Amino acid sequence: MVHLDRSLQQWVVDHRSGLLDPLLEGITYAGSFGAIWLLLAVVLSGLAWRRPTLAVRTGATILVAEAVSGGAKEWLDRDRPPLGDPDPAPLVPLPATSSFPSGHATVAFACATVLALAVPRLRWPLFGLAALVAFSRVYVGVHYPLDVLAGAALGVLIGLSVRYVGAVIRRFARRADAR
């Protein structure tokens, strides 16, 4: 499995298209620290659906996803692709953290899950954007495919957990108001 993971990553970076490089670099930067997701949440919560808590929930999701993926990276300590084979060079600076799981993919899929649960008619574009952010990490050369797949799965679990915790908090708040 590890051999397939490395071979697939090498195939992707060996077949980069100069036309796509700036686009996928931009997507990877937009996904950093959940920036694109927070922007989307603010737009969706303020302008379109008037749900101010959606931006707060998305911000909390970003913090949880960053913390969980960061802890997993420390624990699992997988080297990034350029440390094993520096050619071709990554298109973005090599992060100082380890590779597994992808933090970008974790945050992207966690936020896509939270936003898709709040605005179901946008679920496909949201998950499409999350997949694009995740793929960009392999394309720019700083992750293996399994890193982003693990990040995506972890992100969906985090997004569902945020939704569940939010429902529990709302239930307790309603009970407290009823007393």
DSSP-derived letter for residue 55 is H
* Rounded (10°) angle between helices 52-76 and 35-43: 160
At residue 139, the pLDDT reads: 92
Closest CA relative to residue 68, chosen from 36, 37, 102: 102
Strand ranges (DSSP E) for 33-120?
Answer: none
Range of the domain at 142: 20-178
The verdict on residue 170 lying in a domain is yes
Rounded Cα distance between 155 and 13, Å, is 24
Is pTM beyond 0.85? Reply is yes
pLDDT at 36: 94
- Spans in the chain with pLDDT lower than 70: 47-50, 85-86, 179
* CATH number of the domain where residue 163 is located: 1.20.144.10
In a domain, 123, yes or no: yes
Say what the pLDDT of residue 54 is: 86
Structural domain includes residue 9 = no
Tell whether 14 is covered by a domain: no
What total of structural domains would you count in the chain? 1
What percent helix, strand, coil does the chain show, rounded to 5? 80, 0, 20
88 in any annotated domain:
yes
User: What are the tokens at 158?
Assistant: 């985090």
Residues 110-153: pLDDT tens digits? 999 999 998 899 999 999 999 999 999 999 999 999 999 999 99
Q: Residue 88 has what pLDDT? A: 81
4-30 burial: b if 16+ Cβ within 10 Å, else e: eebeebbebbeeeeeeeeeebbebbeb
Query: In 10 A of CB 123, how many CB atoms?
Result: 15
pLDDT of residue 129: 97
Q: DSSP for 120-162? A: GGGHHHHHHHHHHHHHHHHHTTS--HHHHHHHHHHHHHHHHHH
- Is residue 3 domain-resident? no
CA gap 47, 55 in Å, rounded = 12
